Amino acid sequence: MKFGILFELSVPRPFQPVNEKMVFDNSLEQAKYADELGFDSLWCVEHHFMEEYSHCSCPDMFLSACAVLTKNIRLGFGIATCVPEMSHAARLAERGAFLDVLSGGRVEFGTGRSSTWVELGGFGADIDSTKESWDEYVRTIPKMWTQERFSHDGVSFSMPERAVVPSPEQDPHPPMWVAVTAPGTEIDAAERGMGCLCLFIGNLEKNKARFQKYRDIIADCEPVGATVNNQIATMNWMYCDRDNELAVQRGQEFVDTFSSMAAQPIEISQAFPSLNYSAIGLLGGLRADPDAGSGKKAAPEGLCVGTPENIVATIKEYEEAGVDQMVFMINARELLQQEEVLASMKMFAEEVMPHFK
């Protein structure tokens, strides 16, 4: 089992330069500390026009800063958005390779197509063609990384023969991933030999079958790249403290805060009649505390919040389900003070991670 952290760069109102700078600086300090503590990866989202929820419109710039501040931790695009109206395929190939060279070969290249009307509508994207454009991108970007010259005459984009530079540091190229929320996307990932980056939270029992289906298909896949990335990573929240009641309270606050922010962006399935976007939802089967109001304190199902011992037990459930890596959100809209975040990270690294190394 490997462990990573995920940055959304969610900024609380009012949107003043001091608030934006505080979030960015705190996140960079957390990235540096995660590297020192021995976390395996850090991931950075790409979002646009998403007030409070995520001000991370330039993830490659944030990851470049992380590359300079860190030495060993893997740097993940979570995700590079494969939509022509937002980024040309060659630009994504350039950004991934550039960061790979800058970081000494530490890039994980996550891909996807976004799911909100706020973003896709804002760029005037063709909603009905995003799945096809994503497929075309993931089949061509590895060729840009491995061929001296590349040309393409396609549906989503075309380009004359050019040298796409620089070439990535990793040989043959960075591992490729697919962001998975809607059922069936894990099959798309497996068929193409790509890692399964699960952005849903909770309901582990329901998703065990999805994990097994992924394993079955990827064992006999035709990879889009030069290698197969047979890994499953799941997103979660993490807050580690010796006071279990406090940690559980923080966990519930995470859920409530994220839910309130996630209610702002309108999902495509709610705004546009497209079969490409069905059953999208980050919160999955996550349930609130069933004993709320009874005086008992139990962590929301599937969340990695609580004492080190309780978190170890939760992670073992994911490990037994076939998950290879857990990627944690460790703050939301600056809900926690920076000192609380760093202390939680330290306790997790010292008292939880050794059980899985």
Q: Would you say domain 2-355 falls under CATH 2.40.30.30?
A: no
Q: Does residue 226 have a pLDDT over 60?
A: yes
Give the domain ranges of the chain: 2-355
Distance CA 327, CA 109 (A): 15
- In the DSSP assignment, the letter for residue 14 is S
pLDDT at 62: 98
Q: What is the DSSP secondary-structure string of 233-257?
A: EEEEEEEE-S-HHHHHHHHHHHHHH
* The pair of three-digit structure tokens given for residue 277, joined into one six-digit string: 């976007």
In the predicted model, what is the mean pLDDT of residues 313-332?
96
b/e string for 4-24 if b means 16 or more Cβ within 10 A?
A: bbbbbbbbeeeeeeeeeeebb
Please state, rounded to an integer, the average pLDDT across all residues of the chain.
Answer: 91
The torsion of the CA quartet 243, 302, 211, 72, rounded to 10 degrees, works out to -30
In the predicted model, what is the mean pLDDT of residues 43-53?
95
Please report, for residues 199, 256, 270, 273, 345, the alpha-carbon distance to residue 266 in angstroms, rounded to integers and kept in the order given.
Answer: 17, 18, 7, 13, 32
Summarize pLDDT for 262-277 with one digit per residue, the tens: 777 777 766 666 666 6
CB 169 within 8 A of CB 223: no
What's the pLDDT band for 295 if we cut at 50, 70, 90? Answer: very low
Please report, for residues 19, 198, 332, the alpha-carbon distance to residue 258 in angstroms, rounded to integers and kept in the order given.
Answer: 18, 17, 7
Q: Does residue 120 have a pLDDT over 60?
A: yes
pLDDT at 268: 74
Instruction: Look at residues 170, 138, 174, 175 and name the one whose alpha carbon lies nearest to residue 154.
Output: 138
Number of H helices, E strands in the chain: 11, 11
Q: Tell me phi and psi for residue 167, to 5 degrees.
A: -85, 150
How many other C-beta atoms can be found within 10 angstroms of the C-beta atom of residue 121? 15
> What phi-psi label fits residue 104: left (phi over 0), alpha (psi between -120 and 50 degrees) or beta?
left
Q: Does residue 21 have a pLDDT over 90?
A: yes
Q: Tell me phi and psi for residue 244, to 5 degrees.
A: -65, -35
Q: What is the pTM assigned to this prediction?
A: 0.92
pLDDT at 291: 47
Summarize pLDDT for 331-356 with one digit per residue, the tens: 999 999 999 999 999 999 999 999 99
Please report, for residues 97, 133, 254, the alpha-carbon distance to residue 113 in angstroms, rounded to integers and kept in the order given.
Answer: 20, 8, 26
Summarize pLDDT for 54-98 with one digit per residue, the tens: 999 999 999 999 999 999 999 999 999 999 999 999 999 999 999
> What phi-psi label fits residue 323: left (phi over 0), alpha (psi between -120 and 50 degrees) or beta?
beta
Instruction: Look at residues 44, 63, 39, 64 and name the one whose alpha carbon lies nearest to residue 54.
Output: 44
